[in-house]
Structure 1
Amino acid sequence: MTIIAPTMKKDVYKEFHQRAYHPEVTRVYSNYTSRSNKLSNIENNDKVAFVGLQYFILNHLVEEWNVGFFALPKELAVKQHRRIMTAMLGYPVDVTYLEELHDLGYLPIRIKALEEGTLVPYQVPPMTIVNTKDGFQWLTNALETVLSTENWPIQTSATTAIEYLKVFREFAKKTGLPEDFVPFQGHDFSFRGMFGMQAAAMSGFGHLASGLVGTDTIPAVLFAEKYYGADVDKELVGASVDATEHSVTCSWIMEGEIEFFRYLMREQSPTGILSVVSDTWDFWTLVTEYLPQLKDEIMARDGAVVIRPDSGDPVHILTGYRMLEAGNHSSREEARQAALDAGMEGYIFDGNLYALEEVEGNDYADPYQLMPCQVKGLIECLWAIFGGTMTDKGYRLLDEHIGAIYGDSITLKRQRQILQRLMDKGFASKVVLGIGSFTYQYVTRDSHGSAVKATSVVKAGERVAIHKDPKTDSKKKSARGLLRIERDDDGELICLNDVTPEQEAGGELKVVFEDGVLVRQTTLREIRERVAKQIA
């Protein structure tokens, strides 16, 4: 549902502010800043990706304000606002200030910002906003609420996606995985778990802005085309593959999975990448019995068959168990304790394999007993069946006709565990990992402490620096006065507080929006290029 009501895209209490500002204040200057990594979803994070402002400008400041306010007759433009606000506040709301804005005919606002795709240190504002005409001082922070809610989610998702990309690149370099595979390793599966279609599109664009291209979130691609000049006919915006789900597999319950695989490979997807969800019934039987029977057909196919487990602990499913070698233990409990003391995940006793914790999916009455395939993990099992080559770094690389994807529950912690364990076992990091709504939505505005705060006003014709500095929370201390963003001798962005108007006019912040017009545009391609340079 889309509600076009630009004058009411704010907190109710802001209705009062146009009367509450000091009568002699004519300009309000604010900034948007990510203030702290205290609650960051990324360990030891030091920068936040600045992405999403152009969308906010085009969608809200230009389209919504023009269609839902300036293009309407004045009385109609303010009628709904007067009615709703009067009902919510309990007294007749005076909308004269909105009528004056309608008479003006545009939003008297200037936004200065860094280039989108810039990785910005905490406490450094990537953008500032100020009213450009006296009498509209209320407008700057009336936009705070919608500015915040339309920007922090995209930036947070982009920052998270960049961290995934950095880890994928790290292990690709270590193990010799071809670098052109890396952008496809992190796949956005978050759509169904997001807070609606718009949230999915916004977050999904943040994912794409990082440089990752794997996605099943179609609205993110539409978003990129509409707001960031992307064109799927001319560039790779987002990519996916032929893939099944459990309902499809279940429709072959009578014929079985071998016939299902053959039908897909022969008749529906004879070339290219084919991803098949493989744990609908018995994952390890499929891996150890069915895949060997299908080997010749898979190896003869023009493309890759990708095996997709969708349940169980992804670390163990993909990489197996770290086992204590068999020793001279007098009892199973003694062997178990030895494995526990050694930091292992399993042990061998009396010729059998056991995990320290209960496992699912085995064929034994003992819930701790492991099958050899479970100890190996999927990647090693696929290598045993299909083989592959050695990279120039000396790591085993699965044959090009076979692959693996785990599309569920892959946090940043699990991502690193999986890739590290594969490397420890001698495998290149050839695996695709899904990034879902748990990752992209289990965050808040506080994840990076993102906030809009006023730092300067013009009062009685004089420039006055203002700031907040709560004694009860030093992390909420705001900047002060007019701000200038520049780079220090090491090339790092820094914020200079309380500068002169002449100094504020320079620096790294450039005007992107002024008096109703977007004056500086960027594209998805440019954003990706900027990110790539900074994480090289």
Structure 2
Amino acid sequence: MNMILNTDSYKYSHFAQYPPETAAISAYIESRPGGRHDHVLFFGLQMFLKEYLTRRISMQDVDDADELVTAHGLPFNREGWELLVNRHGGSFPLLIEALPEGSIAPVGTPLVQIRNTDPDFFWLPTFIETALLRAVWYPATVATVSHYVRRIITTALERSCDDYGDVLPFRLHDFGARGATSLEQAGIGGVAHLVSFMGTDTVSGLVYARRYYGEEMAGFSIPAAEHSTMTAWGEEREAEAYGNMIEAFGGEGKMVAVVSDSYDLYRAVSEIWGKELRSKVEQMGGTLVVRPDSGDPQVVPVDTVDMLGSIFGHSVNNKGYKVLNPAVRVIQGDGVTPETIRIILDRLMERGWSAENIAFGMGAGLLQKVNRDTLRFAMKANARQDTSGKWTGIHKDPKTDPGKASKPFRQAVICENGDFAAVPLKDLGDRENLMQPVWEDGQLLKDWKFSEIRERAAKGA
């Protein structure tokens, strides 16, 4: 992993483009207003710092980059990179500040700020923009989407469930691993989801939580069927396939999920689960989770809850909503988005059912159907220091798109009226700056634990 090559082509010529008296450049990352959400859950920087930025540049890296970049048709700052190896042992002379991971901040709040610590490397903070911005926007966006869904589900549970403390963490399950572009994306997105929930089938998310945040076990799953294991029995033996799931994985306090739409979901629920296997389900001592996996996602799962209720019965909780027999529940894992989750929960409650009767599995909508513009992430230079030590604010303010205006001067973040707010560092006064140094000159200064991040995110809700 050669960090010299972890950038955009045009960055290689930027070392010669700054004013000659430049001694330092400061830049910051924010989610600009105008995106899909008005708050962002900041998460993921620590993975990049541990995996990439702590790696030292070697002279072999310099040689390899020189050969590739020169052949690519661009100037190569060999003198600068050799100086980094010889003076700093290959470590990046940079200071990175950030909000504590798990913080939920209004869009427009600086999340990360970077500057060089050696005046000969004024070109370095913006050189790593590509890698640093990518390291922040993706996990923060997934974490924000997941947290947004948590708020939707929480609202429904507060309205319709007596005690949802143990229910909420498992209402949204990550089904996104196979839709991710790579193992690394699945790991980064998978662990971002786990900030707000504890249900996942993305194993790499568990690995990343353990590797980068010291969490021994961040999420859980249950035995579950897929279409291949059900259709392998043939349609005529569908009931045997379902019965085998109960026999193999059922038991006192256990849960087992069975996809039930291989042929005819409504027949499977009414005839197989409702008649042939009803006694097995009721006697197994655990919970069968029926998974409808096709049809209109706004209709079919609600119908499934209705059918299971008419077969297995229900109780009525203190808030007046129906709760299925503990032997059965439903999980919807097809066509799931934040919008469909809201619609499904509303329709359930309109029919008198508590939101606790259903869970959701979200795949592409969680890990893949996001991009940098979902939350309008950007990294922009905000200050320049000259050789006399004076800092000057710099910014962009395009008249053709005022929404892209950036913040001048080095930034601080304060708590104001119970929320985060940005102020120029020069105007901070005696107020506390919530931006904390997390990395300096090759050293990790903060090592956030996953439990801390989860607690912070829960408080920020």
Q: Same fold judged by TM-score > 0.5? A: yes
Contact 2:250-2:286 at 8 Å conserved across structures: no
Counterpart residue identity of residue 403, structure 1: R
**Correspondence for 1:142:** 127
C-alpha deviation, 1:388, in angstroms: 2.3
What is the CA–CA distance in structure 2 between the aligned matches of 1:503 and 1:10, rounded to whole Å? 37
Contact 2:231-2:238 at 8 Å conserved across structures: no
**Correspondence for 2:70:** 86
Alignment pair present for 1:198 and 2:184: yes
Counterpart selection for 2:412 from 484, 505, 514:
484
What is the CA–CA distance in structure 2 between the aligned matches of 1:160 and 1:528, rounded to whole Å? 15
C-alpha deviation, 1:503, in angstroms: 5.0
Counterpart residue identity of residue 97, structure 2: K
User: Where do 5+ consecutive residues of structure 2 fail to align?
Assistant: none
Contact 1:483-1:504 at 8 Å conserved across structures: no
Question: Equivalent residues in 2 for 1:437-448 (5 A)?
Answer: 437-448=364-375
Counterpart residue identity of residue 200, structure 1: A
Contact 1:215-1:240 at 8 Å conserved across structures: yes
Counterpart residue identity of residue 147, structure 1: L
C-alpha deviation, 1:5, in angstroms: 1.2
Question: Equivalent residues in 2 for 1:226-305 (5 A)?
Answer: 226-232=211-217, 237-253=218-234, 256-271=237-252, 272-293=254-275, 294-305=277-288
1:250-273 per-position Cα deviation (integer Å, ceiling 9, x unaligned): 111165121112222123444511
Contact 2:409-2:424 at 8 Å conserved across structures: yes
1:299-322 per-position Cα deviation (integer Å, ceiling 9, x unaligned): 100211111111001111022xxx
1:227-253 per-position Cα deviation (integer Å, ceiling 9, x unaligned): 011012xxxx11111001011001111
Counterpart selection for 2:319 from 385, 393, 405:
393
Alignment pair present for 1:406 and 2:392: no
Counterpart residue identity of residue 298, structure 2: V
**Correspondence for 2:52:** 60
Counterpart residue identity of residue 376, structure 2: G
C-alpha deviation, 1:440, in angstroms: 2.9
Counterpart selection for 2:110 from 111, 122, 125:
125
Alignment pair present for 1:314 and 2:269: no
1:446-483 per-position Cα deviation (integer Å, ceiling 9, x unaligned): 11111111110112322211111011111110001121
What is the CA–CA distance in structure 2 between the aligned matches of 1:460 and 1:254, rounded to whole Å? 78
Aligned length: 454
What is the CA–CA distance in structure 2 between the aligned matches of 1:287 and 1:497, rounded to whole Å? 61
What is the CA–CA distance in structure 1 between the aligned matches of 2:97 and 2:293, rounded to whole Å? 45
Q: Secondary structure at the match of 1:433?
A: strand
C-alpha deviation, 1:48, in angstroms: 0.4
**Correspondence for 1:15:** 12
Counterpart residue identity of residue 8, structure 1: L
C-alpha deviation, 1:288, in angstroms: 1.1
Alignment pair present for 1:468 and 2:396: yes
Counterpart residue identity of residue 255, structure 2: I
Alignment pair present for 1:29 and 2:4: no
1:296-346 per-position Cα deviation (integer Å, ceiling 9, x unaligned): 110100211111111001111022xxxxxxxxxxxxxxxxxxxxxxxxxxx
What is the CA–CA distance in structure 1 between the aligned matches of 2:367 and 2:61, rounded to whole Å? 36
**Correspondence for 2:386:** 459
Question: Equivalent residues in 2 for 1:129-208 (5 A)?
Answer: 129-179=114-164, 180-208=166-194
What is the CA–CA distance in structure 2 between the aligned matches of 1:504 and 1:498, rounded to whole Å? 11
Q: Secondary structure at the match of 1:242?
A: coil
User: Where do 5+ consecutive residues of structure 1 fail to align?
Assistant: 320-376
**Correspondence for 2:353:** 427
Alignment pair present for 1:496 and 2:407: no
**Correspondence for 1:382:** 308
**Correspondence for 1:361:** none
Contact 2:170-2:359 at 8 Å conserved across structures: yes
Q: Using a 3 Å threshold, how does the CA distance of structure 1 residues 254 and 470 change in structure 2: closer, same or farther?
A: closer
Contact 1:224-1:230 at 8 Å conserved across structures: yes
C-alpha deviation, 1:505, in angstroms: 10
Contact 1:480-1:498 at 8 Å conserved across structures: no
Q: Secondary structure at the match of 1:31?
A: strand
Counterpart residue identity of residue 123, structure 2: W
What is the CA–CA distance in structure 2 between the aligned matches of 1:254 and 1:471, rounded to whole Å? 64
Mean CA deviation greater in 82-91 or 263-272: 263-272
Counterpart residue identity of residue 29, structure 1: S
Q: Secondary structure at the match of 1:205?
A: helix
Question: Equivalent residues in 2 for 1:337-352 (5 A)?
Answer: none
What is the CA–CA distance in structure 2 between the aligned matches of 1:426 and 1:94, rounded to whole Å? 67
What is the CA–CA distance in structure 2 between the aligned matches of 1:506 and 1:110, rounded to whole Å? 19
1:350-389 per-position Cα deviation (integer Å, ceiling 9, x unaligned): xxxxxxxxxxxxxxxxxxxxxxxxxxx1111100111122
Q: Using a 3 Å threshold, how does the CA distance of structure 1 residues 213 and 487 change in structure 2: closer, same or farther?
A: same
Counterpart residue identity of residue 25, structure 1: T
Mean CA deviation greater in 284-293 or 434-443: 434-443
Q: Secondary structure at the match of 2:72?
A: helix
Q: Secondary structure at the match of 2:426?
A: coil
C-alpha deviation, 1:77, in angstroms: 2.7
What is the CA–CA distance in structure 1 between the aligned matches of 2:225 and 2:395, rounded to whole Å? 55
What is the CA–CA distance in structure 2 between the aligned matches of 1:392 and 1:15, rounded to whole Å? 65
Q: Using a 3 Å threshold, how does the CA distance of structure 1 residues 51 and 157 change in structure 2: closer, same or farther?
A: same
Contact 2:256-2:289 at 8 Å conserved across structures: yes
Counterpart residue identity of residue 151, structure 1: V
Runs of 4+ deviating beyond 2 Å: 267-271, 502-506
Alignment pair present for 1:519 and 2:442: no
1:378-414 per-position Cα deviation (integer Å, ceiling 9, x unaligned): 1111001111221110111011111111111111111
What is the CA–CA distance in structure 1 between the aligned matches of 2:84 and 2:213, rounded to whole Å? 29
C-alpha deviation, 1:177, in angstroms: 5.0
C-alpha deviation, 1:154, in angstroms: 0.3
C-alpha deviation, 1:165, in angstroms: 0.7
What is the CA–CA distance in structure 1 between the aligned matches of 2:404 and 2:442, rounded to whole Å? 31
Taking only aligned residues, the RMSD between alpha carbons, in angstroms, comes to: 1.6
Q: Secondary structure at the match of 1:310?
A: coil
Counterpart residue identity of residue 460, structure 1: T
Contact 1:177-1:397 at 8 Å conserved across structures: no
Contact 1:189-1:435 at 8 Å conserved across structures: yes
Q: Secondary structure at the match of 1:532?
A: helix
